Structure 1
Amino acid sequence: MEIVWEGRPMTLHYSEDDRAFVMYDEDGELYERLDPRGCSDKPAEHNMCWLDSRFVGLLVQHEVVVETGHVCEYGQTAGHLVRIIHPEFHDGGYSRFGNFSRQRLGQQCQYGSRYIDGKIEGYPDLGRGLRFQNMDRSDYHSIRIHRDDMDEFERRYRAYHAARGDQN
């Protein structure tokens, strides 16, 4: 994943084995290991790790992790238990539909999700054959779309509105 750290472009990777993130600079050289060291003796669930607090804000901003609120102290630095939420690092390539809908369709999730399966009268089934998770209508915020299907869903959405003469 491409990010910016201290004004420089970086590539971010996550090692499931080490439960640690690493950043590489534009030359492919290891720049920094986002160290989970101080709390590594404490168990973490799948998709979770302890993270040096210097990096929590960066990764929350890039929607890579969400902070759980647990803090431990080691040496001079605090550590945070974080849950990895970015699809590139877990979840089989699925991303939150709400983010996709706002950024690419210009719709809030509750409105964009109506176009997925055609179950709401007056809305088409634009998601046919595409991969979605958590299609529970009682919580549209939990819907996920596979990142490899995002372009196709957006293409169908735009084509549908173009055929209707809409300006979407």
Structure 2
Amino acid sequence: MKSLYNRIIYFCYQPSVGENYKKKINAVNHRAIELKNNLIVWPDKISALTCSPENLHKLKNSLNTKNITVVDQIKNKSRLTTITGHVNRSGKNFLNGKTPFLEKPQFPDMTTIYQSPTKNKTTVHTLGPKRYLSSKNLNNQVVWSSSIGLVAPVFSYLGFEVQGVGVPDKKTNDNILTILTFIS
């Protein structure tokens, strides 16, 4: 069965949505809106509970799709970027202690999480939300992210094809339509 939406876009932070949207039902500690035939979803809070395999599986069942675009905040890039890999430097793993789940393997292969329509490769280093917000003296040669390295592995584990997008800090309050244009 095909999804009702052009795209499912999962924000790792609350996006700036403007006014031209339809509010959707809140489910499994997440919020959702419909905008231009896309479903925009974000968690109440990035945490091991909210973004657990169990909760994201419930979300997957309600979405009826295998494709998801995960959008996260990034530092040291000035424009929207396609994320093709991550290094998890947060000290956390949302799959830890939660696998095996639904007859999936306990130790899943995470070598190819991201599907990318572009040849440009950007690997981000994920710090986790608290460290990301409090970090000031970061290596400016590294692209840092808040949370994609925590949630993308869970989506991949559940069978989603994941596309990653990084939004520079200075642009996180840009209207969501700018991000939709970049993804299209």
- Which structure has the highest strand share of the two? 1
TM-score (normalised: structure 1): 0.29
- Which structure has the highest helix share of the two? 1
Query: Rg: which structure is higher?
Result: 1
TM-score (normalised: structure 2): 0.27
More relative contact order in 1 or in 2 (CA 8 Å, sep 6+)?
Answer: 2
